[in-house]
Structure 1
Amino acid sequence: MLTVDYNRLGLKPGEQLLDLGCGFGRHAYEAARLGAHVVACDLASTELAQVRATFAAMSEAGERYRGTCQTVRGDATRLPFADRVFDRIIASEVLEHVHSDEQALTELARVLRPGGVLAVTVPTWLPEKICWALSDEYHAPRAVGGHVRIYRHGQLRGRLRCAGLTPFSSHHAHGLHSPYWWLRCAVGPNNDNHRLVAAYRRLLEWDIVDQPRITRIADRVLSPVLGKSLVLYSRKSGSSHLKEAKSVAA
């Protein structure tokens, strides 16, 4: 289940891509499949272990990818990379967890090459506002490591510009997921065994695995209005034709 549109990201084979806050590696794997050299970065070593497990499981299943992937543990506000080493960066559902999001964006701009593209995804304002209203246990401070802010579209664009980046495209994603999270918040975010939550989760799993036409159409219709994620694409000014670094690690 990808949130980022790789056509808008403009990823090309052989490019260096940073997947910040990589989770279990959904974006990292797709980038490697397309031929990129991926660095999956996360503060949690358990997430990095999941990325390695994802790549191992895909290989065992006969899936092939043309690129490479390495995992690096790092803090979004103090990235362990040299300046201007990545052609593309994905930061999916990360900034809403980071107290100093402006510092994180400054760091992302620092490690992005001139002409490179950053794709940032955050929860969309209205669906997220409803989640916060339904349950205090969904967000910080009650939820340890939970969301610390709700972004408006214009606010995020402004912070990207302050970091020296130029937003050029945006869209919403995952229209079917907002009602799921509203339901979870209504019954308690940690009540995974509730029968309605379990039933909706099966629907989402069916959508992800089988991609039936009916749910694909529903998602396309709902996403512009109720999409759970807002995706913004920004470019760093300057020419991208720089000498390739030997290593992305500082």
Structure 2
Amino acid sequence: MLTVDFDRLGLRPGDRVIDMGCGAGRHAYEMYRRGADVIAFDQDADELSGVSDVFAGMREAGEVPAGAEADVKQGDALSLPFADGEFDRVVASEVLEHIPDDVSAISELVRVLAPGGTMAVTVPRWLPERICWALSDEYHANEGGHIRIYTRTELVARLEAAGMVLEGHAHAHALHSPYWWIKCAVGVDRERHPLVRGYHQLLVWDIMRTRGISRLTRGAERALDPLIGKSVVLYLRKPSA
């Protein structure tokens, strides 16, 4: 399940890219599959071990173009161990809402992006996130959880203050908003609750593109994304000068 549109990001084979806060690696895998040279960056060594294993499996299965490279790097978002302007593309998906000093993290993302390069930043959208917080403290009040809710205007202002130029935005994953509202209402750990299990099965069918179900759910999501999309996605460029 991808949040970033890599065509809008301008990703091309041979681009050097960083997926900052990669987590389980969903965006890193797709960028690697498209022929980019990928660094999957995160604080979590266990997550990175799994990502490294998948990278190796993709190479062995012949799922990546010849010449494409991928590696993992553990570190701190506030002090990225890379040179100024090292990357052509930067992805930071669903990570800034976890970082207390988000301004410094944004500064580091801009620093390692090459002049003329592009960046995709995604965070939970204000309204769906506010509903989750209202329904459940457990949803966000935990170690490593969400510490803030951004408005799009606020996040754009922070990125522009760091020197980026907004080129466009989108919303994604509208069908996931009701899923999280249900979880927050019944208990975020109650995975076996009938409503949670039923809705989760619908999402799995959609992700697997089951014939018929997928057409219905994809159409519904496109219609609902502008209204209740779970994530807001910003596409930005670092000026060349």
TM-score category by the smaller chain? over 0.9
More deviation in 102-111 or 185-194? 185-194
TM-score when scaled to structure 2? Answer: 0.95
Distance 1:92 1:207 in 2: 21
Amino acid at match of 2:89: R
Identical residues among aligned pairs (%): 56
Give a deviation string over 1:168-202, Cα, whole Å, max 9, x none.
11000001000000001001112222121111111
Aligned to 1:83: 84
| Structure 2 unaligned spans of 5+ | none
Residue 42 of structure 1 contacts residue 72 of structure 1 at CA under 8 Å; is this kept in 2?
Answer: yes
Aligned to 2:237: 235
Give a deviation string over 1:197-245, Cα, whole Å, max 9, x none.
1111111111111251111101111111110000001111116xxxxxx
Map 1:46-85 to 2 at 5 A: 46-58=46-58, 62=61, 64-66=63-65, 67-85=68-86
Aligned to 2:8: 8
Aligned to 2:120: 119
Residue 141 of structure 2 corresponds to residue 145 of structure 1: no
SS of 1:172's equivalent?
strand
Amino acid at match of 2:91: I
Amino acid at match of 1:72: K
Distance 1:110 1:226 in 2: 33
Shift of 1:53: 2.9
TM-score when scaled to structure 1? Answer: 0.91
Aligned to 1:168: 167
Give a deviation string over 1:141-181, Cα, whole Å, max 9, x none.
xx111000000010000000111111111000001000000
Give a deviation string over 1:62-96, Cα, whole Å, max 9, x none.
45112221000011111111111000000000000
Residue 23 of structure 1 contacts residue 50 of structure 1 at CA under 8 Å; is this kept in 2?
Answer: no
Shift of 1:33: 1.0
Residue 225 of structure 2 corresponds to residue 223 of structure 1: yes
SS of 1:136's equivalent?
coil
Give a deviation string over 1:29-68, Cα, whole Å, max 9, x none.
11111110000000101110121233344456x4511222
Aligned to 1:101: 102
Give a deviation string over 1:112-152, Cα, whole Å, max 9, x none.
00000110000000000000000001113xx1110000000
SS of 1:117's equivalent?
strand
| Structure 1 unaligned spans of 5+ | 240-250
Distance 1:58 1:236 in 2: 31
Distance 2:37 2:56 in 1: 16
Aligned-residue CA RMSD (Å): 1.3
Distance 1:63 1:230 in 2: 33
Distance 2:82 2:18 in 1: 10
Amino acid at match of 1:125: W
Distance 2:40 2:96 in 1: 16
The 3 A distance-change label for structure 1 pair 100 and 8 is same
Distance 2:136 2:34 in 1: 40
Aligned to 1:35: 35
Distance 2:227 2:58 in 1: 34
SS of 2:38's equivalent?
strand
Amino acid at match of 1:48: L
SS of 1:175's equivalent?
coil
Residue 96 of structure 1 contacts residue 148 of structure 1 at CA under 8 Å; is this kept in 2?
Answer: yes
The 3 A distance-change label for structure 1 pair 63 and 213 is farther
Residue 24 of structure 1 contacts residue 54 of structure 1 at CA under 8 Å; is this kept in 2?
Answer: no
